[in-house]
Amino acid sequence: MFAEAIEEILKDQCTPAVVRAIEAGGSPAVLWNAISDAGFLELLASENDGGAALSLAELFPVLIALGGYAIPVPLAQSVAARALLADRMTIPEGMLTFAPGLRRLNDGRLVCPVVPFGTIADHVLAQDEGRLLLLPGASATRTATGVHGSMVATMSWQIDADSIHTDLAAGTLSAFGAALHAALLAGAMRRVFDMTLQYANDRSQFGKSIGKFQAIQHQISVMAEHVAASLIAAEAAFPAGVPTPPPLASAIAKARTSEAAVLVASISHAVHGAIGVTEEYDLQLLTRRLHEWRIAHGSEAHWNQIVGRSLLQSGQDRIVDFVRSASV
């Protein structure tokens, strides 16, 4: 129900033209206000606090929908951040995002490298061992990556940040960020697959659609396998009955979706031929997100190491038993 509702808003308010305008430096206010006024920021909040009290499993389809529209605002991060901050501190207005990491320099500055949506976020939530830090975007020095259309920025502060001691285990914020991006990646890849399949059926060459050529069928089949595997891996990171995604399931989900993102992007461009990367064609909005979200909170190289260490320490005799225990 919530996934269908957010899709109706995204169809009207998150069109490719809007995505291009925000990426080019336009204001995200209209899109953000449409989403927040509809109550989607409180999906994980309790009913007593005016929220929908969704479980993580019920939130997952909403995240898949966001990925399919190349969402240019940190809605997924804001929903999760508001749930983490509830009962811990006053939740600020505006767009919140997660910092993948935090460094303290010798001159006292705080630095959060490559923050997703760092160019537009109003606040950044960072974890410093047993503390959560809420860092104001207004006083941050933002250094964009310079990549075309990217909203990733390295952010630094000269001031002390508001912080709270928390019972969140170290790494919880990182795992949550990884799980959110795994779901966004899975949603974007599903949309890319649908566009590629439709193009292969519509585009004709030598009197028949190119989708009837065996070479194209083979590439689309490989693509379908990776998209399906990514959806399953991402969904496993969002079980019901827990407040935050399990660390190991999040690691597996981010590793699997990040690995698939490169392959899905390259096959979709290959099947689309020359138009796959052109500015006017909407496919590039999604495939650029695939590459950006693949790196967010660590690529498959980072998370594969964590999964590997967990396997060696698990004492499990069979890989299948280890995988089955990942979401527990």
Could you say which of 167, 187, 204 is where a domain stops?
167
pLDDT number for residue 264: 98
Domain count within the chain: 2
pLDDT number for residue 166: 67
Could you say which of 138, 167, 196 is where a domain stops?
167
Residues 220 and 239 in one domain: yes
Residues 203 and 313 in one domain: yes
pLDDT beneath 70: ranges in the chain: 159-167, 327-328
Residues 157 and 32 in one domain: yes
Residues 180 and 314 in one domain: yes
pLDDT number for residue 258: 98
Could you say which of 167, 187, 221 is where a domain stops?
167
Residues 88 and 225 in one domain: no
pLDDT above 90 covers a percentage of the chain that reads: 74
- The token duo for 119 is 């160019």
The domain in which residue 31 lies consists of 1-167
Residues 2 and 150 in one domain: yes
Give the H or E element holding residue 131: strand 131-136
Which pTM value belongs to this model? 0.94
Residues 317 and 249 in one domain: yes
Dist. CA 112–CA 187, nearest whole Å: 27
Dist. CA 49–CA 47, nearest whole Å: 5
Residues 154 and 185 in one domain: no
- pLDDT tens-digit map of 48-99: 877 889 999 999 999 999 999 999 999 999 999 999 888 777 888 999 999 9
pLDDT number for residue 316: 85
What CATH code is carried by the domain that includes residue 129?
A: 1.10.540.10
Residues 184 and 111 in one domain: no
Dist. CA 49–CA 311, nearest whole Å: 40
pLDDT number for residue 32: 96
Residues 52 and 159 in one domain: yes
What CATH code is carried by the domain that includes residue 298?
A: 1.20.140.10
Q: How far is CA 101 from its chain centroid?
A: 16
Residues 120 and 199 in one domain: no
Residues 299 and 182 in one domain: yes
Pairing between β-strand 96-98 and β-strand 123-128 as defined by DSSP bridges:
parallel
